[in-house]
Each structure stands twice: as structure tokens, then as C-alpha cells.
Amino acid sequence: MSNELINIYNNILIEDLKSYLKGLEKNDYGFCNIISNRLITDAVILESKKYTLIGTILKDVTFDYRFFENKKIALDDAKENLHNMVEDFLENKNESDINYILSKYSEYYNEFRKIITSEMEVYEENKSFSIYITKYILNTFKDEIKNQEMPHNLDVLVYGILSEFNRIIRTFGFVSQQLILKTLLSFFGRLSEYFRYILISESKIEKWKKLYFEYKEKLTNNIESFEINDEYIKSTVNLIFEVCREWRFMFIRLLELPKPQFIEKSFSMPEIVKEDLREMVSDLISSKLEGENK
């Protein structure tokens, strides 16, 4: 974001964040979701990678809340931590670089892990194992992307990887590089939904296949470069910005994607099959009765 744009429009991004806090105070997660989308869009237009990252974090956080609304007291604690995180950023916005944002997010997510962990789980924190498993599933992901022959309507690999990845960091702990990777996978999944929809709906798809392949290639390169260092964080922030920019423009093109419609088809069993089933059941009953009478 240029200095001129910062001076003129930075207050818009601040107002987005303040609106998010108002929604959080009212427990209106739907509103918070809308505001986080708005923040990401505004940040993309103003070319602010920092605010794009903040928007993605806030969207993922409130998305998770819907799974834990039954834990009211615990969730209140999480929301207080989140509220403090956003207010802290607002107070220190000029000094907040990417590492600062991730450090505050890490503090929040560590508290959130405690809240959502079942008392029956007795795992010790083990970041070394967490990183080892992360690299293992990333290698699996990379190989699957390169060799994948799934039709587009079944291409949900990123969600399977993300599900396993969430389990790992929630159970065994994490470092900042894993948190930002989680964010990248989450928003790549959102973008891929649009590509999948286009590729299974349209006949003139070569342009979209090419663009989807380019984003997959960028994701593969990011996965291959995964290391516990600042360079990985920097490159991932750049890719998150690219993914979010395309994702928001996909929304402009197509709006919200329609929800899948599951149509229950009527089924008529042929009479000959019905008769065979009747005879089979009758024989089984007769056989059972004969056995009991012996």
C-alpha cells in the first residue's frame, strides 16, 4: 500500500476492525464474518498485505466459533482473548509488522487450544512431532497435487489436508510458520471452490483450468519451501495476498456459490426382485423356526 493511500484510506481499514469488535461484543458471528470479508476486500484493493492477513485470521477464528457455541463459558474466554488481540493491534497499528501479528495470533490460538481440548485427551505438547507430521502431510499433499487424477467435482484434497493439519496443531502445538500455513490452506480451499464450480459447470474452461493450475503450482512451490524461518513467513504472506485477491474477485464475478442440492431419486424395485426377496426372507424364517423346534 502506497504512503498516499495509507494517509487517505487507512482509517477505512481501522473502521472495519472496530466494526468487527462490535459484532464480537454482540456474539453476532455472521456479522463478524461479513466484516472480515469486507476487511479482506478493502485490504486487497488498497494492496495491504498486513491487513489482508489480519482479515484472514479474523475470518478463520469466527468460523471456528460456530463449532464450539455449546461451550459458552469457555467461548467467552476465547472471545475476550480475541477482543484483546484486535484492540492491541489497533493501539499499536503503526508498529505492527507481520511477525508481531503472528505472535499475537499465536498467543490467542494457544489459549483457544486449551478451551477446545477435551479433558479426556492426555497429550503432551510436542512441537517437534507437530513439525515432523506437518512436513509428512505436506509431502503427501505435494505428491497428490502433482499426480492427481480426480475429477474436478471430487477435488477436495485441500480440505482433507487442512482437517489433518488442524488436528496436529491443536493436539501437539505449533510454531508461527504452521499457523500461517494453516491460513494459506484455508483460503486456498475457498478459492478452489470457485474454480471447481466453474470447471464442472462451463464448457469453455481452458482459461480457468490454466489459472487454477497456476495457483496450484504456486501452492506446491510454497509447500516445498516450508521451513521454520522468517523467509517462509514472508513468502506465504505474499501468496495469501494473491489467493485472497483472486478469491474476492471470484466473489465479484459469481457471488456466493450455490449450496449443493441433494435430490432424492425415487426407486422402483422390479417385481421379480421383490418376489426373490420375499422367498429369501420366508426361507430364512422357516429355517430359524425349524432350528428352534429341534
Per-residue DSSP letters for 145-175? HHH----GGG--HHHHHHHHHHHHHHHH---
In a domain, residue 265? The reply is: no
Same domain, 146 and 230: yes
Q: What is the pLDDT of residue 262?
A: 40
Q: Is the pLDDT of residue 293 over 60?
A: no
Residue 47 lies in a domain: yes
Looking at the domain assignment, is residue 86 inside a domain? yes
Among 116, 147, 167, residue at a domain's last position: 116
Average of per-residue pLDDT across 171-198: 96
Cell 487442512 locates to 162
The radius of gyration of the chain's CA atoms, rounded to the nearest angstrom, is 25
pLDDT of residue 70: 63
Q: How confident is the model at residue 74 (pLDDT cuts 50, 70, 90)?
A: low
- Average pLDDT estimate for 260-285: 58
Which pLDDT belongs to residue 117?
A: 84
- The per-residue pLDDT for 205 is 83
Do 194 and 79 lie in a common domain?
no
Q: What is the mean pLDDT of residues 28-54?
A: 94
Residues contacting residue 183 through CB under 8 Å, at least 6 positions apart = 53, 56, 57, 60, 240
| Residue 185: per-residue pLDDT | 97
Planar angle of CA 218, 52, 250, nearest 5 degrees: 60
| Whole-angstrom distance, CA of residue 292 vs CA of residue 265 | 41
**Domain span including residue 90:** 1-116
pLDDT in tens, 44-69: 999 999 999 999 999 999 888 877 76
Boundary-marking domain end, from 66, 100, 116: 116
pLDDT above 80 for 275: no
**AA letter at 216:** K
Q: What is the pLDDT of residue 160?
A: 94
Q: Do residues 75 and 190 both lie within one domain?
A: no
Q: What is the pTM of this model?
A: 0.84
Unique residue bearing C-alpha cell 501479528: 101
* pLDDT for res 55: 97
249 shares a domain with 133: yes
Q: How many domains does the chain have?
A: 2
Which of 90, 116, 142 is the last residue in one of the domains?
A: 116
Do 81 and 17 lie in a common domain?
yes
- pLDDT tens-digit readout, 244-269: 999 999 999 999 987 655 444 444 55
The confidence band for 95, taking pLDDT boundaries of 50, 70 and 90, is low
Are residues 150 and 94 both part of a single domain? no
pLDDT at 89: 84
Q: 109 and 233 share a domain?
A: no
Residue 32 and residue 147 in one domain: no
Collapsing DSSP to helix, strand or coil, 225 comes out as coil
For the stretch 104-147, pLDDT in tens is 899 999 988 888 888 899 999 999 999 999 999 999 999 988 88
Quote the mean pLDDT of the chain: 86
What percent of the chain clears pLDDT 90, i.e. is strictly above it? 56
The answer to whether residue 278 is domain-embedded is no
pLDDT greater than 90 at residue 148:
no
Proportion of the chain above pLDDT 70, given as a percent: 82
Residues 32 and 158 in one domain: no
**pLDDT band at 224; cut points 50, 70, 90:** very high
pLDDT, position 154: 82
- Give the per-residue pLDDT at 254: 93
Q: 130 with 253, same domain? A: yes
Task: Determine the average pLDDT of the residues in 80-93.
Answer: 85
9 shares its domain with 34: yes
Residue-level pLDDT at 212: 93
Is residue 93 in some structural domain?
yes
